[in-house]
Amino acid sequence: MKIMVIQGPNLNMLGVREKDIYGPMRLEQIHAQMKEFATQNNVEIEFFQSNLEGEIVDKIQECFGEVDGIIINPAAYTHTSIAIRDAISAVSIPTIEVHISNIHRREEFRKENMIAPVCASSVVGFGPFGYHLAMMGMLQIMNEVRAVKEAQKQAATN
């Protein structure tokens, strides 16, 4: 099983920017914890970060046929990007959206979410721990998908 983690704009500045909202943890530290969890669960994991919407769309499209699940923090593009939404929808890969802060308790413009409706789930407001919750959720989704495929195989041979 393989998971792609896609990080949107300004997440490369975690640990530096607005620590009162996003905390002191750097993106590299979050990724190290995710990698450790993935290794413990025999899951391959890859990380990608971009400040550019088109690069994020390209990465989502590259996942088609290559990964079993996507964990994405589209950051500010959450509120504006129909292109990222359409890319997630197009590839039909189970996707979990993560936000470090609780976007529902912030500025009014952050309450509009273009991405959540095409995701399996969203994790918001748990800080960096939200990525761990997303990993656990993705493992559950991937196990359920595998069980359905095995049941379909079994039914086809009977």
* Residues that are catalytic: 22, 99
What is d(CA 48, CA 40) in angstroms, rounded to the nearest whole number? Answer: 21
Are the CB atoms for 76 and 106 separated by under 8 Å? Answer: no
Separation of alpha carbons 69 and 79, rounded Å: 22
Instruction: Enter the tokens of residue 57.
Output: 């769309």
Q: Which of 147, 82, 139 has its CA nearest to residue 114?
A: 82
Angle at alpha carbon of residue 10, lines to 132 and 48, rounded to 5°: 55
Contact 124, 102 (CB under 8 A): yes
**Residues 15, 94: Cα–Cα separation, whole Å:** 29
Burial of 139 (0-12, 13-18, 19+ CB in 10 A): middle
